[in-house]
Amino acid sequence: MKNIKTIIIILVLGGLAFTAWKLSDKGISSNLADEGLSDFAIKDTASIDKLVLTDTDGNPGVTVVRTAGGWTTAEGECVQQHLVQTLLETIKYIKVKGPVSKGAIETINKSLAAHNKKMEIYQNGKLTKTWYVGDPTQDQYGTFMLLKDAEKGKSPEPFIMHLPNMYGNLSTRFITSPLPFKCSEVFSYDPLDIASVEVTIPDSSHLNYKVVANSENSFSVFNNAVAVEVFDTSQVRNYLVGFRKVHFENHNYILSEESVDSLKNSTPFYTIKVTSKDGETKGVRIFKRKQQYQKIGLDGEQLEFDQDRVWVALEDGTVVVGQYYVFGKLMRDIRFFSGPQF
């Protein structure tokens, strides 16, 4: 009697587990379509208004939505438009390179179930297609992918997909970490909208300055609150133009949280604060960046600090990498405005 009860319990639990697996989206064979689905492409990408990217590796995932002003996160934050355009181009031009051999379908399906990047595509507010992106083929000319259609269900078999004239794994196009999507803009000012720029140089405070725009063609320059009587107005204009388009180069993939905190608590190389004519202020703190590898300077000495890049602490506390080529135009000292007294 006990054995019969045990068997019944095992059968019931097994049935429940199987049902749960069938209903779960994680089961790669759940809600199967009647035939293999290979129509991944969507030619009318203008109808796509939302993309959701996730993976099986535990990354936070990314959701981008189309707005009147361009693509943003679901929370309305700025995103790198070119990354979204790459996805839309992939959706539009992707093609089937070939089917997966019958003998390999089960193996590839299991691989896709265990390891994939998933992209959910919404058109006019409705989820229409879901892509499961897997590993590249051995020759690197194709990528194993499986399609789920909102109406037909999930394809029972994967396909080898590719972009014409592209060599490599398509999965690199599907970024599931929010960090690379964040906008790189630091300053973006029309020079006529700038009310003032204040710069401090802690290690050389005697070279601090503040530029004030009195009107379109009238400026004041101060050196540690002392008005500079004679300066080159054209240099002031050139300086303010430098705030028109300033972007950082890359996110921080090197420093740990402890190192970031230590950096932000140290003395900055430069501090720059911009005030617009509507009263809003925006600033950054710039720090020297330790040389990442051994490099000898022109004097034959080993360089301690990177000669090409700096750390930039943004207003929200994020630390990013900036190029001297970009930020150097803003990292001037009072002598840049060269009056006779300098």
Interval 104-143: pLDDT, tens: 999 999 999 999 999 999 999 999 999 999 999 998 899 9
Residues 329 and 198 in one domain: yes
User: Higher-confidence residue: 77 or 303?
Assistant: 77
Final residue before a domain boundary, out of 165, 181, 197: 181
Domain-located, residue 18: no
- pLDDT given for residue 169 in this prediction: 87
Could you tell me which residues come within 8 angstroms of residue 278 by beta carbon, excluding any fewer than 6 positions away?
A: 193
Q: Do residues 53 and 154 both lie within one domain?
A: yes
pLDDT band at 340 (very low <50, low <70, confident <90, very high): low
Decide if 210 is inside a domain: yes
Residue type at position 202: P
Q: Does residue 3 lie within any of the structural domains?
A: no
If asked whether residues 205 and 327 sit together in one domain, one would say yes
105 and 207 inside one domain: no
Q: Indicate the range of 100-109, 127-136, 142-151, 289-298 predicted with least confidence.
A: 289-298
pTM: 0.77
Q: Are residues 39 and 174 in the same domain?
A: yes
Domain match, 175 and 230 both: no
230 falls within a domain: yes
At 33, the pLDDT band (50, 70, 90 cuts) reads: confident
Work out the pLDDT band at 6, boundaries 50, 70, 90: low
Structural domain count, the chain: 2
Residue 148 belongs to domain spanning: 31-181
Residue 294 confidence (pLDDT): 65
Alpha helices per DSSP H over the chain = 2-23, 81-93, 102-114, 233-241, 257-264, 324-327
**Does the pLDDT value for residue 9 go beyond 60?**
no
Tell me: do 168 and 198 sit in the same domain: no
Task: Compute the radius of gyration of the chain from its Cα atoms.
Answer: 28
* Distance of alpha carbon 281 from alpha carbon 251, whole angstroms: 23
Give the domain-ending residue among 136, 153, 181: 181
**Same domain? 165 vs 151:** yes
> Each residue of 218-267: pLDDT tens digit?
999 999 999 999 999 999 999 999 999 999 999 999 999 999 999 999 99
Q: 80: Cβ–Cβ under 8 A, 6 or more apart, which residues?
A: 180, 181, 182, 183, 184
Higher local confidence (pLDDT), 298 or 305: 305
Among the three residues 121, 150, 181, which one is the final residue of a domain in this structure? 181
Q: Do 138 and 235 have their domain in common? A: no
What confidence category does residue 296 fall into, taking pLDDT thresholds of 50, 70 and 90? low
Mean pLDDT of the chain: 90
The answer to whether position 25 is within a domain reads no
19, part of any domain? no
Same domain, 59 and 142: yes
Pair 196, 333 in one domain: yes
Q: Are 195 and 325 in a shared domain?
A: yes
Q: What is the pLDDT of residue 21?
A: 40
Q: 13 in a domain, yes or no?
A: no
The answer to whether residue 163 is domain-embedded is yes
